[in-house]
Structure 1
Amino acid sequence: MNPRSAQRLARLADALARGGRLRLAEAAALCEVSEMTIRRDLAAGDGQLVLMGGHLMRADDPRQAPVYDLATEQDRQARAKYRLCERASEFVEEGDTLFIDCGTTLVPLVGLLAGRREITVVTYALNVANAVSALPEVRLVLLGGLYHASSHSFDDEGVHEAVQRLGINRAFLSAAGVHRHKGISCFHFHEVAAKRAAIAAAGERILVADETKLGVIRPARFADLAEVDVVITDGQAGRDLQCARRAADGAPRILLAGER
């Protein structure tokens, strides 16, 4: 991190020392830089400050517990999610068994499977399962358990063993937060076991996350960035992550939607 970035983060940390939060625009005005510069500073930082819902806050402030609502997320970044899934669909091969994660980001991927031959989809998400059920040529494996309406997903203590019994070619993963140093995270702790099981079992791990998820930390951390093989993202924050990873050793590859 360059000295100016460190100074800006220190200034913002001081402003948030007593709790509360700042709008991204307010943080940018306080530091006399653009909002994108603040995003870049956060991505390069140590994770003490996080961006949640357009607000900057301390990661350790218990009063800032985020709330995820699937119905609200359904239409958010809809066009971006479709473009991301178009790029993700290029990885699918005939005969694949695919793990498709919960949330709304990967739902467009299901529609892009129409007409593919001998595809099996493994999921623990009811909305994904419903979309797959409309494709008679795609076989569905639904991992059951206790249903969580907040994320339209199921949770079962035996999910690791259930996934290990399957041969999964590719795991398509979603996340609510992707941070270069603090890893990949989501809102709900009940999702972690299924995500971890898919990461362990799959031949290839592909994370799909739009640029609003980059530089963000959510409560339930489920992986290091290096535990996935590919990240498909977009926007300037995606380009920044791509440049940063080019200078680093090892996985993942960063691919941008709409670019080759």
Structure 2
Amino acid sequence: MNARSVSRLARLQQALAGGGTLHLRDAARLCGVSEMTIRRDIDASDGAMTLLGGRLVMADNPQFAPVYDLDRQQYSHAMTKRRLCERAAGFLADGDTLFVDCGTTLLPLVNLLASHERLTVVTYALNVANAVSLLPGVRLVLLGGLFHASSRSFGSDDMNAVIGRLGINRAFISAAGVHAQRGVSCFHFHEVAPKQAAIACAEQRLLVVDESKVGQIRPAYFAQLDDFDVVITDGDMTLPQADGGPRIVAA
């Protein structure tokens, strides 16, 4: 990114510093360039700003957080997610009961379970459950409730109590935002209870996130980084390593 692009982005962030939105045409007028140039600047930026419906917003503003699209996310960073899950699979042991979170980051992990024996997978995600159901010898516990089509997952008032009664060895947790000071977050509030319940009762808690999530803040906060034992990522997770903090595993 050249110096002029950096200067334009800084000007736009300053215009959005008080919150709200900025129409694309107004952003172009402010910077004295075309709308296409502004689009290119945003595409090449660090993700601090995003375009929603032709308006520029700060990506960490929960009022304007983008809608999560599971189908689109399935093909986003696909090779990276595979590599992250290969590292995550190294923590598995025969006989484990696993909590596997919703979304697409952890879906490649399911394909790596066949090499282990006597596994049980606990999930509230329909896409994860469908994949696990095809594996012979892997027991599936699907947590039910109201189905949320946006994330193909279920939610219910008593799900956290159900999870608390299970003996979970390892909880594999995904996230849409990971911030050193503001913690770990996701798009959907119905995901908070099962994530927190799994973190609370699991013997080992593993956060699996690709670099696009690092530095982001999403609407539904559910944990601090030191709630995890291990963070598996390809992003720059330079964190203060206090006693009891998570172990960072690079993929």
TM-score, with length taken from structure 2: 0.81
Q: What is residue 87 of structure 1 aligned with on the other side?
A: 87
User: Corresponding residue for 1:57?
Assistant: 58
2:247 to 247, 253, 260: 253
Q: How many residues align?
A: 226
Structure number, greater radius of gyration: 2
Q: How many angstroms apart in 1 are the aligned matches of 2:75 and 2:152?
A: 16
The question of whether the paired residues in 1 share the 8 Å contact of 2:96 and 2:170 is answered with yes
Q: Mean Cα displacement is larger for which, 13-22 or 222-231?
A: 13-22
Q: What corresponds to 1:223 in structure 2?
A: 223
1:149 and 1:92, CA in 2 relative to 1: closer, same or farther beyond 3 A?
same
| Structure 1 letter corresponding to 2:196 | R
Cα offsets for 1:49-105 (capped at 9, x unmatched)? x4558976164473x231001111111110000000000000000110000000000
SS of 2:190's partner is: helix
Query: Which residue number corresponds to residue 239 of structure 2?
Result: 244
Q: Assess, with a 3 A threshold, how the Cα gap between structure 1 residues 109 and 24 changes in structure 2: closer, same or farther.
A: farther
Quick check: 1:12–1:27 contact (8 Å CA) kept in 2? Answer: no
Name the CA distance, whole Å, in 2 between partners of 1:111 and 1:65.
31
Return closer, same or farther for 1:132/1:51 CA change in 2, 3 Å cut-off: farther
How many angstroms does 1:214 deviate by? 0.1
Q: 1:154 to 1:255 in 2, by over 3 A?
A: same
Structure 2 match to 1:20: 21
Q: How far apart are the structure 1 equivalents of 2:207 and 2:230?
A: 6
| Contact map agreement 1:118 1:137 (CA 8 A) in 2 | yes
Question: Retained in 1: the 8 A contact 2:144–2:155?
Answer: yes
> 1:15, CA displacement in angstroms?
2.9
Where 2:205 maps in the other structure, the secondary structure is: strand
Q: What root-mean-square deviation, in Å, do the aligned CA atoms of Structure 1 and Structure 2 show? A: 2.7
AA aligned to 2:21 is: G
Partner residue in 1 for 2:3: none
* 1:86 to 1:61, Cα distance in 2 relative to 1, 3 A: closer
Q: Following TM superposition, by how much is the alpha carbon of 1:253 offset from its aligned partner in structure 2, in angstroms?
A: 1.0
Q: Give the partner amino acid of 1:230.
A: V
The answer to whether residue 214 in structure 2 is matched with residue 210 in structure 1 is no
State how far apart, in whole Å, the 2-side matches of 1:166 and 1:82 are.
Answer: 28
Whole-angstrom CA distance in 1 between matches of 2:92 and 2:144? 25
Structure 1: gaps of 5 or more residues: 1-8, 29-33, 40-49
Give the superposition deviation at 1:249: 4.0
SS at match of 1:73: helix
Q: Is the 8 A contact 1:167 1:202 kept in 2?
A: yes
Q: How many Å separate the matches in 2 of 1:65 and 1:159?
A: 26
3-state SS of paired residue (2:178): strand
1:191 match: secondary structure: helix
- Residue 244 of structure 1 aligns to a residue in which SS? coil
Distance 1:105 1:53 in 2: 24
- Contact 1:24/1:56, CA 8 A, preserved across alignment: no
Q: Which runs of 4+ in 1 moved over 4 A?
A: 9-13, 21-25, 50-56
SS of the aligned residue for 2:239 comes to helix
Contact 2:62 2:219 in 1 (8 A): no
Separation in 2, partners of 1:180, 1:166 = 30
Alignment of 1:34-113 (within 5 A): 35=45, 50=48, 57=58, 59-60=60-61, 62=63, 64-113=64-113
What amino acid is aligned across from residue 70 of structure 1 in structure 2? L
Which structure's residues are more often helix, by fraction? 1
Contact preservation (8 Å) 2:126, 2:152: yes
Residue 116 to residue 220, structure 1, CA distance change in 2 (3 Å) = same
Q: Which amino acid aligns with 2:107?
A: V
